[in-house]
A and B are shown apart, each in its own frame.
Chain A
Amino acid sequence: MSGAQCWALNDGAKDMRAADLCIGGLLTLAGALIAYEGHALGLGQLREPGPGFILFWTGLVLAGLAATIMVTAPFAKRAQIAGVPLREVRWAKLAILIATLGAYAAALDPIGFIPATVLMLLVLFRTIDPLPWLSAVIGAVATTAVVYVVFGLGLGAQFPMGLLGNG
C-alpha cells in the first residue's frame, strides 16, 4: 500500500492498524513463550499426554494466529477502532480510575475497608464528571456506611478493618 493510500485512512483505521501490529506482535511472542513453557512442562505421548501437551499446542496455534493478525494488519481496509480515535480518549481519567482501583487494592488490608472505600469513592466522585467537594465527601461517607452495614453487618462479609481495629 502506498503512503498516499495510508494517509487517506481516517484516524480510527490508522489506530487499528497500529494496534493490530502491536497486539499481534505481543501475542505472537506470548504464544511462543506458552509453547515453550508447555514443552518444558512435558508433552508426554499421545497415549498419555503430559501437563504441557495442551499448553504447547495452544501456544503454537496462538502464535500462528497472532502472527497472521500482525502480518495482515497493514492491508486491513475496513477495520476501525471502537469509540473515539486514540488521540481523543481522555487518557488521564482512565489512568486515574485504574490507578485508584489499584491503590484501593493496595490500601484495603493496611488501612481497612472503611477508610479505603471512603477515599476511593471520594477520588472517583471527583474524577468522573466531578461532583462538588461537599457532595463528594457526603456521598463517599454515606455510601461506605450503607455498604458496610448491608454487606459487612447484614450479610457477614469479612472486610479488613485495618486502622479501625480487628476485623
Chain B
Amino acid sequence: MDTVQSLMVGFGVALQPINLVYCFMGVFIGTLIGVLPGIGPVAAMSLLMPLTFHLTPEASIIMMAGIYYGAMYGGSTTAVLVNIPGEAASIVTTLDGYQMAKQGRAGPALGIAAFGSFIAGTVAVAALTVAAPPLASIAVKFGPAEYFSLMVLGLTILVYLTAGSILKSLVMACVGLVLGLVGIDQISGFPRMTFERMELLDGVGIVPMAMGLFGIAEILFNIEQRQQRSLVGERIENLLPTREDWKQSAGPIARGSVLGFLLGILPGGGSVVASFLSYALEKRVSRHPERFGKGAIEGVAGPEAANNAAAGGAFIPLLTLGIPPNVIMALLLGAFIINNVEPGPLLMIKHPQIFWGVVCSMYIGNAMLLVLNLPLIGLWVRLLKVPYNLLFPLILLFCAIGCYSTSNSIFDLYVMVLFSLIGYLMKKFGYEPAPLVLAFVLGSMLELNLRKALILSQGELSTFVTRPISATCLAIALVLLLTALLPILRRKRETIALDAT
C-alpha cells in the first residue's frame, strides 16, 4: 500500500463520526488538563483509561493520542498567563510568555503559541506519515551502547541548560537516577531500595513525583509570602500575531518543528527536552540574546513548536517499534494492549486501519485544536482568573485526584506530599527539578542499556567509544560538561542557560 492509499484508508477511519467525536473529546480534555496546572496528560490518560474498555481500538487510541497533543497546546496558556507551566513541556514558555503577558502582549504570545503548535504539530504528523518506516529502520540499528550514550547526552544537555549551579544540577541528576532505580531490578529480579514496601516494588511513581515537584511545590512557593496575583489581569486581545511577530517567529517555528520531531523520536528526548533545547538554540542564534527572558516572542514560538513536534515524533518508536519513548507513550501502549493490539513493525500490516486512522486523526485533531483554541482562549482565561485562594485549593484537589486515580494508591498520595515538600525546598535553595525528573524517567532504561552493552561486549568499556554514534554522543556530552565546569567557559554557558528568574 503506498502512502496515498494508506492516507485514504486512514482518513476513512478518522472521519467516521464516532471517531471524530472521540478525537474532539481527546483534544478538548487534553487542552483542559493542559490549561489546569498540576494535572498533566499522564494523570488524565490514566484517569480515562477505563473508558477505553468500551470503545473500538481506533476510537480509544485516537482519543488518548488527542489528550497527549491537546495537553501540549493547553499547557502554554497557563504558562503565559499565570507563570505556572500547565504541563512540564511548557516550563520554558513561562520564561518569555509570561514576560510578554506582563507587557500587555498576552494575546500575541497565546496566538503564536497556538499557530506555532498547529504548524509544528502538522509538520510532525506529515513527517510521521512519510518518514516512519525509514526512521524506524535506522532506530532499529541502535544497540544498548548507543541508547546508553544517547541518554547520557540527553541528561548532560539538560544539566548544561539548567540555570544556576552545575554542581547542584549534577547532584539532582544523580538523585533522579537513584530514584529511577528503586524497585525490582529488571535483570536479576532483586528488589532495590524498597524498604520492604510492596508499593515500591514497581518503583516510585512518576505521577506523584511530578505533581509534587512541579505542581504543589509551585503553590507552596507562591503562598510562602503574601502576594498579589500574578495572573495577567488585562483583557486578552489581538490574538493574531502581527507581521513583525510572524517575521520573528517563522525561523524559531521551523527550527523548533525539526528539532522537536527529531528529539521526539529518541527515547528520553520527548517534549520537555525539545522545548528546552529549542529555547537554547533560539537564544544562541539570536542577534539579541539579551531579549530572552524579557518577553522575546521567539522564546515562545520555538519551544511551543518544538514540544508539539516532539509529541508527534514520539509516536514513531511506539507505532513502528512498539517501544514507548516516554511515560505518556507507555500509557498509550497500555491502551493498545487493552484493545488486544500489539504496536510494532507489524501494526501497519495487521491493523492498517488503526495505524493510519490514528495518524490521520492527528491531522484532524491539530486543525480542531487551532479552531478550538483561539476562540476558547477567553474561556481558559476566565478559568484561570479564579482568585488564588480558590484556584490553589482546586489545583491541590486536582493533583490529589490525578495522583490517586492513576494507581488507586494512598501510598502515592504520601509520595506526592513528600515530593511537594522536597520540591519547595529545591526551588528555594536553587536545586532544579528538571534534571532529577529526566534522570528518573531514564534511570532504569539507562541502567539496563549500560548493563546490556557491558554484557554484550564481555565487559569491554571501549564498546562505548568504538561505536561511532555512541562515541559522538559521549564526546558531545563531555564537551558540554567541560564547557560548564571550566571557569572561563562558564560565562558563555550562563548566557544561554535557562534562567527562570
Chain A contacts to B: CB under 8 angstroms: 16, 19-20, 23, 27, 31, 34, 37, 41-42, 45-55, 58-59, 61-62, 65-66, 68-69, 72, 79, 81-84, 88-90, 93-94, 97-98, 101-102, 104-106, 108-109, 117, 120-121, 124-125, 128-131, 139, 143, 147, 151, 155-159
Contact = CB atoms under 8 A, between A and B. Distances in A.
Interface string B143-174: 00000000000000000000001011011001
Contacts of B174: 31, 58, 61-62, 65
Where chain A touches its partner, the secondary structure class is helix
A101 B454 contact: no
Contacts of A72: 167
A53 B451 contact: yes
Interface of B: 47-48, 50-51, 165, 167-168, 170-171, 174-175, 177-178, 181, 185, 187-188, 190, 192-193, 216, 219-221, 223-226, 387-390, 392-394, 396-397, 400-401, 404-405, 408, 410, 413-414, 416-417, 420-421, 424-425, 427-431, 446-447, 450-451, 454-455, 458-461, 501
A77 to B, nearest CB: 13
Q: Which of B171, B187, B394 has the most CB of A within 10 A?
A: B171
A104 B178 CA distance: 28
Contacts of A106: 410
Contact of B405 (A93, A124, A129, A158): A158
A125 B393 contact: yes
Contacts of A52: 192
Nearest to A55: B181
A25 B178 CA distance: 18
A31 B459 CA distance: 25
A16 B224 contact: no
Nearest to A62: B174
Listed from nearest, the 8 A-B pairs whose CB atoms lie closest are A47-B459, A46-B459, A105-B413, A124-B393, A62-B174, A129-B389, A51-B185, A51-B190
B53 to A, nearest CB: 9
B190 A98 contact: no
A38 to B, nearest CB: 8
